[in-house]
A and B are shown apart, each in its own frame.
Chain A
Amino acid sequence: KQEVTQIPAALSVPEGENLVLNCSFTDSAIYNLQWFRQDPGKGLTSLLLIQSSQREQTSGRLNASLDKSSGRSTLYIAASQPGDSATYLCAADTGRRALTFGSGTRLQVQP
């Protein structure tokens, strides 16, 4: 059974800092790895999706990497802003259409 872990559970950084969020998964037979953002009281918004054949994906200040062999993915946020404050979740897609989610990293960017 796939298990997804995210470290740290919470992170507080000053505005402008670059930061890395970590995600690990136990079963390397994934179809893709996805990163989502969740704002308080809201649903999830897809940020980046990395196919199993890819090593990384970039969108603006966000860069996600994937290392299947080690069961790890990272989300890099450059020049963080207060508007980046949210909970970030990673999810592994094992090809069954269903996603297995990590518990999330709650990010607070201080102005």
Chain B
Amino acid sequence: DAGVIQSPRHEVTEMGQEVTLRCKPISGHDYLFWYRQTMMRGLELLIYFNNNVPIDDSGMPEDRFSAKMPNASFSTLKIQPSEPRDSAVYFCASSETSRLAKNIQYFGAGTRLSVL
């Protein structure tokens, strides 16, 4: 398997624009996680899904952020409108129930977002 695939790898946009980040989890994995990493706050969980259903979105910073998982092989994280303080690296991770007793998460390479 190619692992967790995220796109784009880098995104530069202007304040106020809509940004969509994409993630393809490992095939067969039924948990998907979105994290954000910044120098100030480190790595924080934003939201996670189980079988395409959002389970915990308490980490989503505000209504400008939304996430969807229309099917088992695709998820999006959308920011509308974007602000400079949203600049960060956004990671997607996935895990599978058969390993849930250990909850080993596999991370994508991340999307580096810069909002000017």
A residues lining the B interface (CB < 8 Å): 31-32, 34, 36, 41-46, 49, 51, 89, 93, 96-104
B residues lining the A interface (CB < 8 Å): 4, 31, 33, 42-45, 48, 50, 55-56, 59, 91, 93, 95, 100, 102-110
Describe B's contact surface by its main secondary structure. Answer: strand
Cβ-defined contact, B104 with A98, below 8 A: no
Q: Which residues of chain A are within 8 angstroms of B103 by Cβ–Cβ distance?
A: 31-32, 93, 97, 99
Describe A's contact surface by its main secondary structure. Answer: strand
Closest Cβ–Cβ distance, residue B78 to chain A (whole Å): 21
Cβ-defined contact, B48 with A101, below 8 A: no
Cβ-defined contact, B56 with A98, below 8 A: yes
B102's partner among A32, A89, A100 (CB-CB below 8 A) is: A32
| Alpha-carbon separation in the docked complex, A99 to B19 (Å) | 25
Closest Cβ–Cβ distance, residue A45 to chain B (whole Å): 7
| Alpha-carbon separation in the docked complex, A51 to B109 (Å) | 26
The 5 A-B residue pairs whose C-beta atoms are closest, nearest first, are: A43-B107, A101-B43, A44-B107, A103-B42, A98-B45
Closest Cβ–Cβ distance, residue B16 to chain A (whole Å): 27
